[in-house]
Amino acid sequence: MSYSNKAERVYFLAGVAVFLLVFAFILPQEVGEYSYSNLVNISSNSFSGDVSEAESKKNSGPENVVKLKTQPLYLKTISDLKYEFINQRKDFLEVNLDSMKVRLYRQGNPERIVSILTIGDPQQWGGSAIGLYKIIGGSKSSFSSAAGVYMPYALHYYGKYYIHGEPYYPGGIKYSSDFSGGCIRLKNKDAKEIYQSTNLEMPVLVIAKEKDSPKFVDKKLFSLSGISATGYLVADLESGFVFTQKNYKKQFPIASITKLMTAVVVAENVNLRKSITVKKEMLDAYGSTKGLEVGKKFRVVELFYPLLIESSNDAAEVLAAYLGRSRTIEMMNEKAKAILMEDTEFVDPHGFDRRNISTPQDLFQLARYIWLARPLIWEITKGNQVSSFGNINFDIGNLWNKNIFIYDPTFVGGKTGYTFRTGYNAVFIFKFMTEEKDIRYIVFIVLDSKNLRSDTQKLYNWIWKNYSLLPASK
């Protein structure tokens, strides 16, 4: 075909251009990698984007391939709540133990920022309580019977924990120390400012550590198989990065893992130096503990040893009796909600009742909380003696330690639980080192297992090899 004039050539070229544009437009477009946004996690089994799973399957022929790339799963931590509250334009008080700042937010915007003078020492049972609470009381001068001092401009937010000014003795002499007993200490002028600017029921968000962003790369060298547990989760405690999981949102009976929360609640609401006398009705739980006899007196902290090493049900009942059994269980459930354990429920202080339930995801929150705020609990689970305010009336060496990895030098702490109806369950923390020599604390949560040791070892070896994480014994 020939074109006799210039106009025809122009029309022809214009037609070709239009055809090419239309052709380019209708070609299937490649879907690239989605970027991670705050508080939105895309698991390996889900995808959220412009192309649905059904559409991608329909269009995925040899000449029409859609590539879907998923982002890693990160579990929410307490620090994530801050960004949620800001986006929701909430009024709240942020207590950041990492930056040592208190920030007052109005409608999501920081209105006041003050420095923290002193916080609690977690290595001496005095760690400040972290989580989501609310202002439940306030006083221009509150007296602490434990320390024997007055706390000016004190805001009460949980248990025995306050935000307050510089404490002083009844005679007016200022009290000074490197650490508080767990309270948040501010300069008097700052405490007064915060006290006058807040109100009852205002949320108090206490953050121990901001999330970091490690680069974990799955080299996919080995597959994971042969795990008998119905549910499990392996995750980095600091960042919330999930290495692998199965049924991580499903509820399971957790048996004696319950005792970890019992220890947390008692440690945060009772003076651990106080003594308690064992009564007959306290020893009605299943099992018995050598040395725990009617009429004997123990300091509260002493009972943590049989509770966490031998998994004594009697010790759990004695501890719960100090505050009142019903009140202790109520506080355990309140604490669970405060640290993001949304699908957890406790009905007794030891876990013998199978209605004590939680999820692998929730138990991650509990493990992380203890790691940050109550690390002495993990030390006791290894059979180690910690600060106990005197002699211990139990032979620790002769307590049967049911935490099966206590001789592993990378073991940080853990708790097992078993009943015939729940199977074998555990929360274990191990220490690893990355290729960049960065120390990482990784939690292994295994529920409804037939072989706890084998399942944990398989998961341990899998992340060691696939993520090049070396066991760190020091």
Q: What are the tens digits of pLDDT across the range 152-163? A: 999 999 999 999
Mean pLDDT in residue range 315-319: 95
Local confidence band at 389 (pLDDT 50, 70, 90 cut-offs): confident
Helices (H), 27-146: 53-59, 78-87
User: Ramachandran region of residue 223, left (φ > 0), alpha (ψ -120 to 50) or beta?
Assistant: beta
Local confidence band at 15 (pLDDT 50, 70, 90 cut-offs): low
Q: Is the pLDDT of residue 247 over 50?
A: yes
The least confident of 66-70, 126-130, 156-160 is 66-70
| Contact between 245 and 303 (Cβ < 8 Å) | no
Sign of CA pseudo-dihedral 112, 118, 120, 122: positive
At 9, is the secondary structure helix, strand, or coil? helix
pLDDT of the residue at 53: 37
Q: Do 247 and 371 share a structural domain?
A: yes
Tokens 């949320």 correspond to 203
Domain assignment of residue 17, given as a range: 6-59
Is 66 within a domain? no
Q: Is the pLDDT of residue 414 over 90?
A: yes
Q: How far apart are CA 414 and CA 27, in angstroms?
A: 55
At 167, is the secondary structure helix, strand, or coil? coil
Q: Do 277 and 415 share a structural domain?
A: yes
Is 225 within a domain? no
Q: Do 247 and 358 share a structural domain?
A: yes
Number of structural domains, the chain? 3
Is 119 within a domain? yes
Q: How far apart are CA 351 and CA 369, in angstroms?
A: 19
Q: Is the pLDDT of residue 4 over 70?
A: no
Q: How far apart are CA 55 and CA 93, in angstroms?
A: 46
Q: Do 92 and 32 share a structural domain?
A: no
Q: Is the pLDDT of residue 36 over 50?
A: no
Half-sphere exposure of 150 (CA within 13 A, CB side): 13
Q: How far apart are CA 213 and CA 230, in angstroms?
A: 29
CATH of the domain at 467: 3.40.710.10
pLDDT digits (tens, 9 = 90+) for 171-182: 999 998 999 999
pLDDT of the residue at 284: 79
Mean pLDDT in residue range 279-308: 89
Local confidence band at 69 (pLDDT 50, 70, 90 cut-offs): low
Local confidence band at 40 (pLDDT 50, 70, 90 cut-offs): very low
pLDDT digits (tens, 9 = 90+) for 338-388: 999 999 999 999 999 999 999 999 999 999 999 999 999 999 999 999 988
CATH of the domain at 150: 2.40.440.10
Q: Is the pLDDT of residue 315 over 80?
A: yes
Is 215 within a domain? no
Is 362 within a domain? yes
For the entire predicted model, the pTM comes to: 0.85
pLDDT digits (tens, 9 = 90+) for 192-226: 999 999 999 999 999 999 988 888 999 988 899 99
Q: Do 186 and 240 share a structural domain?
A: no
Is 288 within a domain? yes
Q: Is the pLDDT of residue 75 over 90?
A: yes
